[in-house]
Amino acid sequence: MQEETISETKRKEMLERAEELGLSPEEIARIECFKKRK
What are the boundaries of each domain within the chain?
2-37
| Confidence tier at 28 by pLDDT (50, 70, 90) | confident
pTM greater than 0.75: no
Instruction: Between 29 and 38, name the one with better pLDDT.
Output: 29
Rounded alpha-carbon distances, angstroms, from residue 35 to 11, 14, 20, 30: 11, 11, 19, 9
Q: How far apart are CA 33 and CA 10, in angstroms?
A: 14
Taking the CB of residue 32, how many other CB atoms lie within 10 A of it? 13
Instruction: Between 4 and 17, name the one with better pLDDT.
Output: 17
Query: Tell me: the pLDDT tens digits for 2-13?
Result: 666 778 888 888
> What ranges in 1-38 are assigned the alpha helix state H?
2-21, 25-37
The answer, yes or no, to whether residue 30 has pLDDT greater than 80, is: yes
Q: How far apart are CA 37 and CA 16, in angstroms?
A: 21
